[in-house]
Amino acid sequence: MFQLLSLFYYFYFSIVGIYIIFLPKVLSGVGYSASEIGIIFAASPLVRFVLPFLFMRGLHLSANIFKASLLLIVLSALSFYFSLENFWALLLSNVAMGVGMSLVLPYVETIALHSIGKERYGKSRLFGSLGFILVALVLVKFLSSEYVAFDFLLALTFITALVAFRVQQLSQKEENGVDEKLSNDIHLLQDWQLWAGLVLMQMSFGAFYNFFTIYETDHGISLDMTVYLWSFGVFIEVIMFFFQGKLLHFDLLNIVRLTILATTLRWFLVFVYPTELVVLFFAQSLHALSFALFHSAAISYLFHLYKNKSLAQQLFSGMGYGLGGLSGAMLSGYIYEYYPKYLFLSSSIIAFGAFVFISLWSKRVRNESLIRD
């Protein structure tokens, strides 16, 4: 199962790489305006945010829904060929892709944590980072027309669907309980400190994911050097995924707090030293904590906290990467337009807010534990 899960992460995040790196350029090349591209690519995080609430109302992420989502991502990738020239059709294709991708990953993440455990999860997940990098390095050499990107997208989507289908089949044979129908034991309002912290953490990444390249080149850092900074961050991320297993034996909530505090420092360093390469490379090295270790510790903590494990992973994706990613992108765009100097200061403040909320949640958990004892 370990090898199969690693293959899934490799191909799944190859799709993400094409989607994030190349499709905006494709749409710009065929004449879409910046605002139209923004609306089209806002569809996926919006869907990711909304979808888990349907499952909180009683819908169950079953094997049949999972299989339907695999078919949906293949059909949506195919539909890009026919919808490229029509804004509304293209928006619908992106919505369909967003729905499919938002269902596939949480289901497989739950299988991974059941089957290989949190200790080996990172070594499997690092193949996703490798897939993201390699597809960028390969596709950039072949991107002679917009349809080349679609060819890569369709091929990788089809392979991902096949691998994911096989993962699901093996998980049923192992009877790991992923498809067990459970009532919703997740209460967002009751556990608001935890979820507010997770949302704010991802919100703080809005400036980085959307404006880091622009921010650094505007400060005189060359585009080549900026790419090296990006690549170094992913390289460090891969190393952390490989070696983090032993760290996850410690208190997961404390690890989450530590990684958020490191993220606060990371954004503050980029704000204060936007042109100091030594500091910038050190800040990028913190990606090992602020992304790789945070992600593994957070999903592991939610996996152990809630009985409805697949819904917990859906909500982490929807609330964090959906709501947090969408609001972070919108806020950072506004800040960079009107107050560009303070872009990463705002990210640092937001990340510190996440630290405060997770600390409040940690204090509450400790108090409740003392009462029970």
Phi first, then psi, for residue 302 (nearest 5°) are -65, -35
Assign residue 177 a region (left: φ > 0; alpha: ψ between -120 and 50; beta: otherwise).
Answer: left
Q: CA Rg, the chain, in Å?
A: 20
Comparing C-alpha atoms, which of 195, 188, 198 is closest to residue 56?
188
Q: Is 273 helix (H, G, I), strand (E, B) or coil?
A: coil
What proportion of the chain, given as a percentage, has pLDDT over 90?
Answer: 28
> Where does the pLDDT of residue 332 fall: very low under 50, low under 70, confident under 90, or very high at 90 and above?
confident
Query: What is the sign of the dihedral through the CA atoms of 123, 164, 139 and 28?
Result: negative
As a three-state string, the secondary structure of 309-353 is: HHHHHHHHHHHHHHHHHHHHHHHHHHHHHHCHHHHHHHHHHHHHH
pLDDT digits (tens, 9 = 90+) for 283-316: 999 999 998 899 889 988 998 888 887 788 878 8
Q: What angle do CA 322, 326, 331 make, to 5 degrees?
A: 150
Q: Work out the average pLDDT over 44-59.
A: 75
Q: CA angle, 84 as apex, 147 and 28 as ends, to 5°?
A: 80
Which of 76-85, 109-118, 290-299, 348-357 bottoms out in mean pLDDT, i.e. has the lowest? 109-118
What is the CA angle 164-206-219, rounded to 5?
125
Q: Is the pLDDT of residue 29 over 70?
A: yes
Evaluate if residue 181 carries a pLDDT over 70.
Answer: no
**Residue 166 pLDDT greater than 60, yes or no:** yes
What is the distance between the alpha carbons of residues 23 and 214, in angstroms, rounded to a whole number?
A: 18
Average pLDDT over residues 225-235: 84
Q: Residue 25 has what DSSP assignment?
A: H
Q: What was the pLDDT predicted at 370?
A: 61
- Phi, psi of 180, deg, nearest 5: -65, 130
Share of the chain above pLDDT 70, in %: 91
* pLDDT tens-place string over residues 139-165: 767 766 667 888 888 999 999 999 999
Domain covering 2-174, topology: Growth Hormone; Chain: A; (1.20.1250)
Distances, alpha carbon 367 to alpha carbons 185, 258, 361, in Å: 20, 20, 10
Residue range(s) of every CATH 1.20.1250.20 domain in the chain: 2-174, 192-372
Band (pLDDT 50/70/90 cuts) for residue 112 is: confident
Alpha carbon distances (Å) from 232 to 145, 215, 226, 285: 29, 17, 10, 7
**Domain 192-372, second-level architecture:** Up-down Bundle (1.20)
Q: Supply the mean pLDDT for the chain.
A: 84
- Give 54-99 pLDDT, tens digit per residue: 776 666 677 788 889 999 999 999 998 888 888 899 889 888 988 8
**From 104-118, 177-191, 350-364, the region with the lowest mean pLDDT:** 177-191
Retrieve residue 15's tokens: 């799709």
* Res 178 pLDDT > 60: no
